[in-house]
Amino acid sequence: MICQVANLQIGRKDIQKDSTLTARRETLAPREYTQQVTDSFHIRGGTTAVMVPIVSHPASASYSESGYSNRMGWGSRPALMLIDVCRAYWTESSPLSILSHPALAAAPDAMRRLLSAARTGNVPVIWTRVEYSRPDMADAGLFWRKAKMIDVWQKGDARGLNAYLEGLEPADQDVVIVKRYPSAFFGTTMSSELQVCRVPAGPWFRGLT
């Protein structure tokens, strides 16, 4: 079913599933949907985000008959996501080094154990890596103006800080998503890749990203 999310205001840890809520006209602005709510979320602070069927239009039947109305369904399996794991964070001379923090310095060992368990359990593994290919870093956009140290991810950089860590390299069957900004979802194919892998879009439990 195609759904519309209205009045969505989400903060971290603010979402509580509540399937008993019903739609009210004021929560459905700007359109005055009146259909039965199929699912809903209670957002702390009083804002309600509801998912309701989109109003049909004259071409709906044509789309359905052409095979464009198949249901995608919900995710049904877990995945391991390894975000931007590279030498830039675990090299003493790197401007992004986190080796001064004992817990973060030990993170690669924990990630290796997670990766081994995922391989054993046949769980999809998805990696992200940052990469910039333009000599002037123009493909980093305004992010480059804000943080000059991100040139560690410039393609061909002689420091080699964008390389993977030993024992934490993608396998042939893994998904690798190249990104340019901190988010693994903004401007990437992450959502589509998760759908193809039958992985739900959330919640995600994360550490350093």
pLDDT mean over 43-50: 45
Confidence label for 204 from pLDDT (cuts 50, 70 and 90): low
Tracing tokens 């006209």 back to the chain, one arrives at 25
| pTM, rounded to two decimals | 0.65
CB distance 195 to 79 below 8 Å: no
Q: How many CB atoms lie within 10 A of CB 36?
A: 9
pLDDT mean over 154-161: 95
DSSP line for 63-79: HHHTT---------S--
Domains in the chain (CATH in brackets) are 3-65 (no CATH), 80-196 (3.40.50.850)
Q: What is the mean pLDDT of the chain?
A: 75
Confidence label for 49 from pLDDT (cuts 50, 70 and 90): very low
CA-CA-CA-CA torsion sign (168, 172, 178, 182) = negative
pLDDT of res. 201: 64
Confidence label for 55 from pLDDT (cuts 50, 70 and 90): low
Helices (H), 34-189: 60-65, 102-105, 107-120, 142-146
